[in-house]
Structure 1
């Protein structure tokens, strides 16, 4: 026999508490103009009846859903988990709910997810991704709610954004290798179409070499896809060169860990035979042996600051800046040694 479920309405709560439906509505929506004893009576009725306010109906009435859409490029990548944690903590603080949507780093899916979230009447949108194309900008411009880029930025700084200076982070990483006596430095880059993790970090690598008077060698550059396996493949290529590099700079920790394991699989040692340096500071960076020297992105802060910026935009608060650049930090561990 099927169990029948009865939907409890605001009318039922009002009758149970002996108040008007308007009073119940004020209590549910945290309106301060309700006496404490009346508020207590309404909450007790809500608990007895198991009433759950209809978020959709409340949204229609207030023209707000207290919901924020978040587009995440790759939900399986641990680095985005820390960003999402920062977003959620600030969202909870300001009483917003999060809808997290994975886009698989595919432009078509990103645009589709953006439009789907906007159709759900979210109050704001956070976009975590790599390439911010003209199609993305057009989708954001047609939005009736604020949009903040999280961990990325558009080329012309049109959109509000929170990120680090990726070029400077890469420059500092390569400079550390140079200060340790390395002159032959291979780079495992991300896709150069990616303005942040790809092109900007590649530019930082080039500038550090140029400033040190080291000629750029195209044989020392391999493109990866941010994944562990592409770090292995790139390192396999470097190890087969007649004059292999003495150090590898990887655009991401995950590729760097692949590099370390490939070096070790070939019977060589890190950092004695080859140093490895990267950017991100994911949890695995301190778990791998030797522990990975890396440039730490403040991933939690990127998420938290992005969400706080979005709350200000949603509430039309005054702001001094809408493009925020957070500091990075070199974390020295044991994968880099003097040459």
Structure 2
């Protein structure tokens, strides 16, 4: 028998029971005699019958599947979040469909619609920005959505983050307190709210508190990649920066290596602090100081929040802020 075509009907016929009995065994219903259950399970194993999750979902109106949209699955930051999501999903017996959107607006909309067409029960979104088209799609769907490590300035969706404004403000204050009057802010695209509205705000507040005028020449907007980081050294030196607050670990590692290639000593001549505290911060030399965020927990809490929304359980707080910390390593004095 072709494995692809084995149905519940084949199992019922082979075990000489009704399809309803097979269904009860598959779904763990206690109302089956032990001997019958064993007979059915033996046939299921022999035929290698795999219950169709989608078909089962149609009967129960639940596919027990969650869609996860990640901008870049190779970035350690998102990989750590995904781990937390997956572990909690497994605990609640949900399957995960992980999709990669390449931080591309068109692709994000396409990926979302693909997940919705697969009848997922919920969606976790990890993009860095929600463009208008995506927002329209979110508003149209009745499927519950939770943001993990993503901000929502319109305050419509449940989300799990750290306080990016406060974290950046504290880190920049530390750099200023050590005598750095020219602190560069090196970030990903400013059109992404997490950078343009939250982190930049923290940077500006730290300058203001220290009585240092904001100088936009010290703001470097990049594409968040390691390669771009390696090329920034001349531009940072040209504006007399003595330190940098960087929004992504791979970008920060690039800056550090670029400095090293130009014989600029980190941290003696130039201090670097990064934002995500992924494993990368410990792998490079010098090790990088960073804002710490409980990446695994952000993913896990987001998934738990989603299970509540999917089961219509009451949710006390839609905007969950988890604690951040500051990890002092060797890239700062």
- Do the aligned partners of residues 319 and 238 (structure 1) sit closer, same or farther apart at CA in structure 2, a change above 3 Å counting? same
Give the TM-score normalised by the residue count of structure 1: 0.92
Q: Please tell me whether residue 237 in structure 1 is matched to residue 235 in structure 2.
A: yes
Q: Distance in 2 between matches of 1:41 and 1:322?
A: 48
Q: Identify the match of residue 265 of structure 2 among 261, 265, 269.
A: 269
Is it true that 1:292 corresponds to 2:271 in the alignment?
A: no
* 1:7 to partner: Cα distance: 2.9
Question: Could you report, residue by residue, the CA deviation over 1:9-46 in whole angstroms, capped at 9, with x for unpaired residues?
Answer: 22332344443221211221233444555434332221
Q: 1:29-40, aligned counterparts within 5 Å? A: 29-40=27-38
Would the aligned equivalents of 1:153 and 1:159 in 2 still touch at CA under 8 Å?
Answer: no
CA RMSD, Structure 1 to Structure 2 (Å) = 1.8
Equivalent residue of 1:65, what SS? Answer: coil
CA distance in 2, matches of 1:221, 1:25: 61
Within 5 Å, which residues of 2 pair with 1:1-339?
7-241=5-239, 244-337=240-333
Name the CA shift for 1:4/1:107 in 2 (closer, same or farther; >3 Å).
closer
Kept in 2: contact 1:223–1:234 (CA 8 A): no
Residue 38 to residue 211, structure 1, CA distance change in 2 (3 Å): farther
**TM-aligned CA deviation for residue 4 of structure 1:** 5.7
- Residue 5 to residue 52, structure 1, CA distance change in 2 (3 Å): closer
Aligned length: 333
Bigger shift: residues 274-283 or 34-43: 34-43
| Structure 2 SS opposite 1:191 | coil
Mark the CA change 1:48 to 1:132 in structure 2 (over 3 Å): closer, same or farther.
same
Any conservation in 1 of the 2:3–2:49 contact (CA below 8 Å)?
Answer: no
Contact 1:173–1:278 under 8 Å retained in 2: no
| Separation of aligned partners in 1, 2:33 and 2:170 | 59
Q: Distance in 2 between matches of 1:304 and 1:38?
A: 39
Aligned partners of 1:5, 1:155: CA distance in 2, in Å?
Answer: 49
Secondary structure at 1:280's aligned position in 2? coil
- Shift in Å, 1:276: 0.7
Q: Distance in 1 between matches of 2:171 and 2:87?
A: 30
Distance in 2 between residues matched to 1:322 and 1:312, nearest whole Å: 11
Do the aligned partners of residues 160 and 36 (structure 1) sit closer, same or farther apart at CA in structure 2, a change above 3 Å counting?
farther
Gaps of 5+ in 1: none
Measure, in 1, the Cα distance between the counterparts of 2:211 and 2:234. Answer: 27
Deviation at 1:294, TM superposition (A): 0.3
